[in-house]
Amino acid sequence: MAKIIDGKEIAAQIKQEVKQQVEDYKKEGITVCLAVIQVGEDPASCVYVRNKKRTCEDLGIKSLSYELEEETSEEKLLALIDELNEREDVDGILVQLPLPSHISEKKVIEAINPKKDVDGFHPMNAGALACGEEGFLPGTPAGVIEILKRSGVEIDGKECVVVGRSNIVGKPMAQLLLKENGTVTIAHSHSRNLPEITKRADILVVAVGKPKMITKEYVKPGAVVIDVGIHRNENNKLCGDVDFSDVSEIAGAITPVPGGVGPMTIAMLMKNCLESKRLSKKQAD
Ligand code: GUN
């Protein structure tokens, strides 16, 4: 039976560390501030945005909330981003995705000042990661690395397989594992003989977006399995891309859904807000 990795507990540790530093800044009269923009009322986005704002509040980070109606024009959204880019009191700008179809996500992401792009989605930050330079990392893959490190999982020299190649998870995940000296394979929907590829993994990160797709036939006994997926099953219960009860029979360690990677994404976002403040302060000093 696999060790269950408690992402909620690890996220709590990180949030506590951020909270402490936010308090230290407060003693110097410095406030950390995140602007959160949501366009429309996508139900999943509403839950995510509420969690982000609540976590800001818990950690003493100020959050500015912009809830724009579905019909908001791209021009108006871009003007708001410009305004927030200029404001010295704003450390991070987060535009919740997906956006309504009449707004270009690419234009919106590229409009955010990369120094305030705490989601790490701007091409400048993606490029910095690819070149091994400093920049903001997207919360989910950065959270996976943190989970592995804080659970004592060695990455150096290990066979790492990432299933999924999105800009938000798969690609940055592979880059980060490579940075930690893993031997990295990216598999995706066109990969042939997927179980053969995933069975090579000492560390298997799954971000395919298909409920319970990964069963024990895909997993090497003893492997560390990280599940990035989140879905609601037929009984309205949360589940991941990995069939947890099946895979936990043979894996060495596994993240559950809920309580695995999910809580880490927000914790790392909060860490990025703090880092943004540290960098702008350093530049001003
Ligand atoms: N939609 C789903 N995940 C995310 C995320 O991490 N950030 C933003 N901005 N939107 C999302």
pLDDT at 262 over 90: yes
Q: Listing from the earlier edge strand, what are the strands of the sheet with 62-68?
A: 62-68, 33-39, 92-95
pLDDT at 248 over 90: yes
CB 179 within 8 A of CB 132: yes
Model pTM score: 0.97
Average pLDDT, the chain: 97
Residue 282 falls in the annotated catalytic set:
no
Tokens of 111: 């409009």
Greater confidence (1 vs 271) lies with 271
Atom of ligand 1 nearest to the CA of 45: 1
* Residue 209's pLDDT band (cuts 50, 70, 90): very high
Q: What is the pLDDT of residue 45?
A: 96
- Residue 258 C-beta-side C-alpha neighbours within 13 Å: 9
Q: Are strands 92-95 and 183-187 parallel, antiparallel or unpaired?
A: unpaired
**Is the distance from the beta carbon of residue 169 to the nearest atom of ligand 1 less than 6 Å?**
no
d(CA 283, CA 285): 6
Query: Among candidates 84, 161, 160, 169, which has minimal Cα distance to 126?
Result: 169
Three-class SS of residue 279? helix
The residues, ordered by sequence, that sit 6+ positions from 196 with a Cβ below 8 Å of its Cβ are: none
Return the residue whose CA atom lies nearest to atom 3 of ligand 1: 97
CB 214 within 8 A of CB 242: yes
**Is the distance from the beta carbon of residue 39 to the nearest atom of ligand 1 less than 6 Å?**
no
Q: What is the pLDDT of residue 23?
A: 98
pLDDT at 165 over 90: yes
pLDDT at 217 over 90: yes
Return the residue whose CA atom lies nearest to atom 11 of ligand 1: 97
| C-alpha distances out from residue 4 to 74, 257, 259, Å | 44, 11, 10
Per-residue pLDDT of 139-162, as tens digits, reads: 999 999 999 999 999 999 999 999
Tokens of 196: 């053969």
Return the residue whose CA atom lies nearest to atom 9 of ligand 1: 96
Query: Among candidates 223, 252, 229, which has minimal Cα distance to 242?
Result: 229
As a whole number, mean pLDDT of residues 183-188 equals 98
Domain 28-114 listed as CATH 3.40.50.10860: yes
CA of 54 to the centre of ligand 1 (A): 16
d(CA 123, CA 129): 10
Residue 96 falls in the annotated catalytic set:
yes
Atom of ligand 1 nearest to the CA of 95: 9
Active-site residue, selected from the candidate residues 119, 202, 227, 241 = 119
Location of each CATH 3.40.50.10860 domain in the chain? 28-114
Hey, which of 168, 169, 273 would you mutate to test ligand 1's pocket, going by the most ligand atoms within 8 Å of its Cβ?
Answer: 168
Kindly state which CATH superfamily the domain 139-262 is placed in: NAD(P)-binding Rossmann-like Domain (3.40.50.720)
Active-site residue, selected from the candidate residues 15, 52, 171, 216 = 52
Return the residue whose CA atom lies nearest to atom 2 of ligand 1: 97
Helix 170-179 to helix 123-130 angle, to the nearest 10 degrees? Answer: 30
Residue 21 falls in the annotated catalytic set:
no
d(CA 60, CA 58): 6
Per-residue pLDDT of 99-137, as tens digits, reads: 999 999 999 999 999 999 999 999 999 999 999 999 999
Q: What is the pLDDT of residue 211?
A: 97
d(CA 222, CA 76): 52
**Is the distance from the beta carbon of residue 129 to the nearest atom of ligand 1 less than 6 Å?**
no
Location of each CATH 3.40.50.720 domain in the chain? 139-262
pLDDT at 285 over 90: no
Atom of ligand 1 nearest to the CA of 140: 6
Per-residue pLDDT of 88-104, as tens digits, reads: 999 999 999 999 999 99
Per-residue pLDDT of 23-79, as tens digits, reads: 999 999 999 999 999 999 999 999 999 999 999 999 999 999 999 999 999 999 999
Q: What is the pLDDT of residue 21?
A: 98
d(CA 108, CA 42): 18
Query: Among candidates 214, 209, 211, which has minimal Cα distance to 161?
Result: 214
Share of the chain above pLDDT 70, in %: 100
As a whole number, mean pLDDT of residues 243-250 equals 98
Q: What is the pLDDT of residue 83?
A: 98
Hey, which of 45, 46, 48 would you mutate to test ligand 1's pocket, going by the most ligand atoms within 8 Å of its Cβ?
Answer: 48
